[in-house]
């Protein structure tokens, strides 16, 4: 029996359809002599530190760094039943086929299941870039040996283990340092989330420190016998009064140019007319969908992912966690079937009804398809959709429909005019065929100038009318939204100078993955490092302090670039997993040491211990009541605990405790007579005796006529 283990049920069903004779069973599908089963993503998850030693359950400085000799993983609770099914099927398997996604995570995901069950038999690998029938049958006929992909598996394992080491140790270290400054939450550090946080912090600081300065643009109306048009001043290299961006900032120069050009004669230096085409934008990947939905629908990144996942589970759109905007050529013939459905969907009737299925856009390129193809409609009829689902479905469908429209054709025009030793540029365009832009106009170039220029020729004479001076101010960069932050993470190479790192990050499509970027932003928000202000993502004071204090190696995306270079080397067999992890085990202790050397100032609003001046922490006792305790427990002879009063520590001086001559039978320390909350009969006061060594000693005694009753303990 040949056993296919797919990464997820949808992939398993596609393989079963390709094999034929499919009969569903519990957790698998029988296909004649073959069986197809599946995972639900990673069935195994890396163990938490306390799984290695119970002492790690409490976060303590003396326990860091945590460096396991070997990394362990446990079966997810929600995947235990499926893992058991796979184990039973493996017992009868003569050959296994790894049907993970065609990437390093997909390779590890199935390989680790085989390792968990100690499978040592024959294993092949199927490489599926698309799930249509043609692609599946082609892949089934061209399978290879799974051992050819051990490098890919080791690269995925290296990434997960190194992320565990850095994330677990540095987050615990920074959180413990933060507690000394009064922060009560988790200060999360990680290879991806920390440079993401730094992106926002740096952008916010650039905006707040931005100082606008004025500059001037000059425009002239140019008179020609064929017609009138507008030209914009183009400074020459010899022009005085420019800033480092080539903008004219000297008002005297602006007025001098106006005076010397207005009403003067000139001539056409250059006149160029060129026919051009603008192809439709490619279908969406998750990042582009998140950016577009953020801008046009006001959706957050995680919201887009959740809605796209819902559409996928309703079989209305393809897999949402895609980093690819291309489609397999084998799916081209399926478009007509999809449009037959879309023409009956409200809001899509026109755009779907006027498509031309003979047009094959640049999106259809199998060689450019990665683990998943672009997100497109499946051709199933939508029904009972929420407002968000409907809006996102239409956005995905429109992006697909315009692939079957002609390119926008236009005539681009450029004229350079010389007037009294100055040059003026005029641009315009004439739309010849709107093509796809007839339906999605908002996606046209925002900077395109619509002026239609007259037919002029080089050396034609002209006359300049009045020059108009416009005073403007430089603008700061825009705040990040969730959509633009997702885009920045995917294109983080634009934010760094190192040429090699820039190249590596561009090739690996940024930091994080399509599946994790939204979750990283949510984590940063949940831990109060980022927050939403209307549609903008803003860094908090805590987030800024964290970036300022974090080791540079964690805030710099170049670190990720270096990691990715080494992971690629592991995948190619040029470097080993053990060598990479040895270097991480050397680096992590240095990172922890650097973090513990930090001195964080107390955060604003922090309540300080009345005895030692260190931050207090608000916590709940087992009964659910709030109290305050001092972090600096080692700095007191006895622990400091204060009652909570309206969300603040009650600093009212307590009555001095009077120690009696009676001793505790358990530890020998003096007893203290205390008044009970419960009254005696007739409303009289009731008393009990407690040990002054509390909380180490919790002995209590009944009161017997003003003395502790030692023969019958209790309150």
Active site residues: 319
* Angle at alpha carbon of residue 399, lines to 394 and 402, rounded to 5°: 115
CB within 8 Å of 504: residues ≥ 6 apart: 561, 562, 564, 565
Q: How many CB atoms lie within 10 A of CB 277?
A: 12
Query: 481: part of which helix (H) or strand (E)?
Result: strand 480-481
User: β-strands 641-645, 626-630: how paired?
Assistant: antiparallel
Can you tell me the distance from the alpha carbon of 353 to that of 13, in angstroms, rounded to the nearest whole number? Answer: 31
Token pair, residue 601, equals 């100032």
For residues 125 and 143, give the distance between their C-alpha atoms in angstroms, rounded to a whole number.
Answer: 6
Identify whether 695 is preceded by a cis peptide bond (ω within 30 of 0).
Answer: yes
Q: What is the DSSP pairing of strand 34-38 with strand 2-6?
A: parallel
**CA pseudo-torsion sign 163, 168, 170, 175:** positive
Q: What is the DSSP letter of 358?
A: T
Would you say 190 and 167 are in contact if contact means Cβ atoms under 8 Å apart?
Answer: yes
Strands 530-533, 480-481: pairing is unpaired
DSSP 452: P
Residue 707 bridge partners (DSSP): 704
Alpha-carbon gap, residue 61 to 400, rounded angstroms: 54
Rounded Cα gap, residues 312 and 10, in angstroms: 10
In the sheet that 480-481 helps form, which strands lie side by side, from edge to edge? 480-481, 536-539, 530-533
Contact between residue 35 and residue 29 where contact means Cβ atoms under 8 Å apart: yes
Give residue for tokens 């009294």: 420
Q: How far is CA 702 from the centre of its chain?
A: 60
Rounded to whole angstroms, how far apart are CA atoms 220 and 216?
Answer: 13
Contacts of 481 (CB under 8 A, 6+ apart): 294, 295, 535, 536, 537
String of DSSP letters for 192-207: THHHHHHHHHHHHHHH
SS3 category, 97: strand
Per-position b or e across 113-138, b if 16+ CB within 10 A of its CB: bbebeebeeebbbbbbbbbbeebbeb
Structural element, H or E, at residue 399: helix 387-401
Cis amide prior to 65 (ω within 30 degrees):
yes
Q: Integer distance in angstroms from the first to the last C-alpha of the chain?
A: 71
Q: Residues 6 or more apart from 156 whose CB is under 8 A from it?
A: 104, 105, 107, 108
Q: Which residues contact 354 (CB under 8 A, 6 or more apart)?
A: 405, 439
**477: burial class by Cβ within 10 Å (0-12, 13-18, 19+)?**
exposed
* Residue 265 to residue 256: CA distance in whole angstroms: 17
Strand partners, 703: 708
């Amino acid at each position: 029996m040949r056993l296919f283990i797919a990464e997820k049920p949808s992939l398993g069903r596609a393989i079963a359809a390709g094999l034929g004779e499919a009969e569903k069973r519990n957790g698998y599908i029988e296909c004649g002599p073959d069986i197809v089963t599946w995972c639900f993503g990673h069935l195994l998850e890396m163990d938490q530190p306390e799984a290695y030693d119970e002492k790690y359950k409490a976060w303590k400085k003396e326990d860091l760094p945590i460096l396991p000799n070997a990394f362990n993983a446990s079966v997810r609770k929600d995947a235990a039943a499926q893992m058991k099914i796979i184990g039973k099927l493996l017992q009868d398997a003569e050959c296994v086929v790894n049907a993970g996604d065609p990437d390093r995570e997909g390779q590890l995901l199935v390989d680790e299941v085989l390792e968990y069950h100690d499978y040592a038999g024959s294993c092949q690998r199927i490489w599926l870039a698309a799930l249509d029938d043609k692609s599946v049958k082609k892949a089934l006929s061209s399978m290879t040996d799974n051992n050819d992909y051990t490098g890919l598996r080791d690269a995925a394992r290296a990434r997960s283990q190194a992320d565990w080491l850095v994330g677990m140790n540095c987050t615990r270290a920074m959180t413990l340092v933060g507690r000394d400054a009064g922060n009560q939450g988790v200060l999360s550090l990680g290879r991806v989330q920390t440079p993401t946080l730094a992106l926002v912090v740096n952008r916010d600081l650039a905006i707040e420190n931005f100082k606008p300065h004025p500059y001037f643009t000059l425009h002239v109306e140019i008179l020609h016998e064929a017609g009138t048009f507008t030209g914009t001043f183009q400074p020459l290299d010899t022009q005085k009064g420019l800033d480092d961006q080539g903008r004219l900032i000297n008002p005297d120069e602006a007025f001098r140019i106006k005076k010397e050009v207005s009403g003067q004669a000139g001539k056409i230096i250059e006149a160029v007319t060129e026919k051009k085409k603008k192809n439709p934008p490619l279908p969406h990947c998750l990042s582009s969908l998140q950016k577009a939905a953020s801008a046009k629908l006001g959706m957050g990144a995680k919201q887009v992912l959740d809605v796209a996942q819902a559409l996928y589970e309703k079989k209305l759109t393809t897999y949402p966690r895609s980093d690819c905007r291309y489609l397999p050529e084998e799916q081209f013939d399926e478009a007509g079937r999809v449009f037959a459905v879309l023409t009956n969907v409200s809001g899509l009737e026109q755009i779907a009804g006027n498509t031309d299925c003979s047009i094959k856009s640049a999106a259809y390129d199998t060689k450019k398809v990665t683990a998943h193809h672009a997100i497109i409609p499946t051709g199933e009829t939508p029904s009972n959709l929420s407002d968000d689902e409907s809006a996102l479905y239409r956005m995905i469908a429109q992006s697909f429909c315009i692939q079957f429209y002609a390119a926008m054709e236009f005539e681009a025009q450029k004229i350079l005019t010389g007037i009294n030793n100055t040059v003026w540029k005029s641009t315009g365009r004439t739309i010849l065929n709107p093509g796809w832009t007839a339906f999605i106009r908002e996606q046209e170039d925002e900077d395109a100038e619509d002026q239609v220029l007259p037919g002029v020729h080089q050396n034609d004479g002209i006359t300049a009318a009045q020059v108009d001076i416009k005073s403007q101010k430089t603008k700061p960069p825009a705040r990040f939204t969730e959509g633009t932050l997702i885009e920045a993470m995917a294109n983080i190479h634009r934010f760094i100078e190192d040429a090699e790192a820039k190249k590596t990050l561009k090739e690996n499509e940024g930091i994080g993955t399509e599946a994790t970027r939204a979750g990283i932003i949510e984590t940063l928000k949940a831990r109060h490092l980022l927050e939403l202000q209307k549609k903008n993502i803003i860094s908090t004071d805590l987030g800024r302090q964290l970036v300022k204090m974090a080791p540079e190696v964690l805030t710099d995306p170049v670190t990720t670039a270096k990691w990715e270079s080494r992971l690629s080397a592991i995948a190619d067999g040029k470097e080993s997993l053990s060598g990479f992890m040895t270097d991480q085990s050397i680096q992590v202790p240095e990172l922890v040491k650097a973090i513990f050397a930090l001195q964080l100032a107390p955060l604003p609003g922090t309540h300080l211990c009345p005895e030692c001046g260190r931050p207090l922490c608000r916590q709940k006792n087992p009964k659910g009541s709030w109290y305050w305790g001092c972090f600096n427990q080692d700095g007191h002879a006895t622990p400091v605990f204060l009652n909570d009063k309206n969300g603040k520590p009650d600093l009212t001086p307590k009555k001095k405790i009077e120690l009696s001559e009676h001793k505790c039978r358990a530890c020998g320390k003096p007893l203290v007579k205390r008044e009970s909350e419960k009254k005696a009969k007739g409303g009289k006061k009731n008393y009990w005796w407690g040990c002054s060594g509390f909380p180490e000693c919790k002995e209590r005694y009944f009161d017997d006529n003003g003395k502790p009753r030692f023969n019958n303990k209790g309150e």
